[in-house]
Chain A
């Protein structure tokens, strides 16, 4: 275990070194960076599997840092997240071989170094055994990903995205830091092992404060609404393999932190903690998918869909917290399994989708869906792989999204066992939210796939698109196969998750399974993915066979698409992305606050001779307009006032130092 860990981390280190040695020549630099990243991630994958099987690991480097030093340990939860990160990292490193070919000069080196710092810091966050180690690697991860986002920093919107990401992630970090200090003070130790007991003895007020700060800190990393605003900016701006890593993997560390907080560090809390998490989760899932639905930028759409999926995962966590608070550990385990299962599923299919979007961006040179179309003929393999991801994320059989969303549904429905009316009501709202989310997500990915890949190309670039590099297709292929395997054989995943959940809740989860069937809540509901797959395959065969047996006509005729008898059928007649989402914009007008502008330029003599029509239809974010913009305005105003203190006059600074000293002396003497 120990050697595997050291070897993997060493791989990443060698990656950094190799890049630095070959800065001047992009090709060896690119190959070295990504081969070492790939090797290191594969090592960590094996490490994670060993951890899931129960292998222990302990490592202390007391002299490296002040305090307790660097300290690592592993349990089943961290082993599971190691696997999640490693799966995403392996695919992303493979994909990056082909994807980074477009970059030249220093950018290759910059991205290579950042990637080789980003990946090990994510692994180390999960393995951290004390507060200082955790915070150090958490910050390293944030910085490395910030540099990765800024790879294409010549675009103004990339710089803006990077800035917002930087601010949001550090606001989150500040919350975590305060909460960690509170908990460390209570436990009189930064060692995580001492926290669970100490936290139970804490006063209610600091304990609640610590919980809320941790929830905000981890929620902002996970992208829970209303802390989601950096996701739809940073993920599209980053190179696509980094988007896949950030959206598929990095935001999961927020989930990791949340689970760690409520099941290990803090222990069971009052029930309103769970209600709070559940409500924010429900809001994230519904609003996330609604924002995704009206988005015409393919990568922004995927980023908003990440907000939605984080919502679904957090629904599971919130449910688990409430079950635990009402002493139903079996059901808590079930809900946790659902959350963890959706975590790895989302890591797989969202990485796949971002990579598909990257391939499209590479080929069509645009993220705007209104300029795509017809790509299924030009890049059929990418289209097929993207379709797999879309079906999976829409929770349709036979892929993996269905299994985990089914489990989440069952754990929410089983809430009737909780004997409290208000809590039941909150669960009912969450079930409704999840159902709405599922339907809207399907609509969203019909749009994402249909508008981008089907029909005729809407621009010259889309017309000239070519199939992407084989490494990119291979990376997507691996993930697509995982989508199918995790969808058809959930028992493989669940058998590992069962132990992890049992370790956290202290009782066996209420989930029975064998190789065909999952049975949740002591037979409350059962589900057999292999039979669903068999049905999906057999039903068309059966229908076709019966039709042929009944003497159906087998003749077929090829004819052009029916276009209402028009002589010319061009891309201008196609259904657009904006038109697809317009009904939703109208129904949920409150949320989108749509602005419509029509500007008609006509002939000065008669308004019936129109020269040009300019039509603008935009949606706005109520969170930004009602929350972030006022907050920023106030912060600016306060900062302007505070500027008086920074006079630049040495004498006044001396006065400040004197006053500070005086205050400290007074405080200490008391």
Chain B
């Protein structure tokens, strides 16, 4: 007991100091998009993530979007558990033979209007898995892709940036 208390008292603060906000442009973009995005998706955007055969590097970065630093939800974006609730699919990895059919089904199950974001180099063009026997092809060979975010893996801000830029494009296209 005493040792434990001692340890609690003596352990210094070990977390790092937060970085100063670097990508002010993301915030700017977000505020610009936010009000207009309401017209497109009724206030908030629901995202379903599909791992079509990724090494889970991209998943770590996508997971990081939910942490307090990146905090995806402040832009009204949420991860959901079913494509039935989703407006947007985040697809990672080269599409493997096993996952090609489920990916297609997931796309079909997502209600319109919807868009697909391919995350990472593998999703864009199969990356280092190009030509492997278990791989069908990039995401665009199975479902139509609207945005590609490059990187191996891409940074969380890059992913966010990709989603928000697509939204902006769609909003600009609105009458």
- Interface of A toward B, CB cutoff 8 Å: 557, 559, 562, 564-567
Contacts and interface: CB of A to CB of B under 8 A. Distances in A.
A562 B109 contact: yes
A559 B109 contact: yes
A559 B109 CA distance: 7
B131 to A, nearest CB: 25
Given A557-B111, A559-B108, A559-B109, A566 B83 contact: no
Contacts of B105: 565
Contacts of B102: 564-567
A605 to B, nearest CB: 28
B106 interface: yes
Contacts of B37: none
B82 interface: yes
A562 B111 contact: no
B83 A562 contact: yes
Contact of B101 (A559, A562, A567): A567
Interface string B90-113: 000000000001110110110100
B120 to A, nearest CB: 20
A570 to B, nearest CB: 16
A567 B103 CA distance: 11
Nearest to B105: A565
Nearest to A565: B102
17 contacts: A557-B111, A559-B108, A559-B109, A562-B82, A562-B83, A562-B84, A562-B109, A564-B102, A565-B101, A565-B102, A565-B103, A565-B105, A565-B106, A565-B109, A566-B102, A567-B101, A567-B102
A557 B113 CA distance: 13
A355 to B, nearest CB: 37
A564 B111 CA distance: 15
Contacts of A564: 102
Contacts of B101: 565, 567
A558 to B, nearest CB: 12
User: Looking at A557, A559, A562, A565, which has the most chain B CB atoms within 10 Å of its CB?
Assistant: A565
Given A565-B101, A565-B105, 15 more contacts: A557-B111, A559-B108, A559-B109, A562-B82, A562-B83, A562-B84, A562-B109, A564-B102, A565-B102, A565-B103, A565-B106, A565-B109, A566-B102, A567-B101, A567-B102
Interface of B: 82-84, 101-103, 105-106, 108-109, 111
B28 to A, nearest CB: 32
A567 B84 CA distance: 17
A450 B106 CA distance: 26
Contacts of A566: 102
Nearest to B85: A562
B13 to A, nearest CB: 41
B107 to A, nearest CB: 10
Contacts of B106: 565
Contacts of B103: 565
A557 B112 CA distance: 10
Nearest to B81: A564
Contacts of B83: 562
Contacts of A562: 82-84, 109
User: Looking at A557, A564, A566, which has the most chain B CB atoms within 10 Å of its CB?
Assistant: A564
B83 to A, nearest CB: 7
Nearest to B112: A557
Contacts of A559: 108-109
Nearest to B82: A562
A103 to B, nearest CB: 48
User: Looking at B82, B83, B101, B105, which has the most chain A CB atoms within 10 Å of its CB?
Assistant: B105
A559 B110 CA distance: 10
A567 B102 CA distance: 7
B112 to A, nearest CB: 8
A557 B82 CA distance: 17
Contacts of A567: 101-102
Contacts of A565: 101-103, 105-106, 109
Contacts of B108: 559
User: Which 4 A-B pairs give the minimum distances between C-beta atoms?
Assistant: A565-B102, A565-B105, A562-B109, A565-B106
A575 to B, nearest CB: 16
B46 to A, nearest CB: 14
A279 B67 CA distance: 52
Nearest to B104: A565
A559 B108 CA distance: 8
User: Looking at B83, B101, B109, which has the most chain A CB atoms within 10 Å of its CB?
Assistant: B109
A559 B84 CA distance: 11
Nearest to B50: A565
A140 B125 CA distance: 84
A557 to B, nearest CB: 7
A567 B83 CA distance: 16
A559 to B, nearest CB: 6
B54 to A, nearest CB: 15
Contacts of A557: 111
A76 to B, nearest CB: 57
Nearest to B101: A567
A200 B84 CA distance: 70
A565 B111 CA distance: 15
A559 B106 CA distance: 11
A262 B62 CA distance: 70
A187 to B, nearest CB: 71
B146 to A, nearest CB: 20
A557 B84 CA distance: 12
Nearest to B111: A557
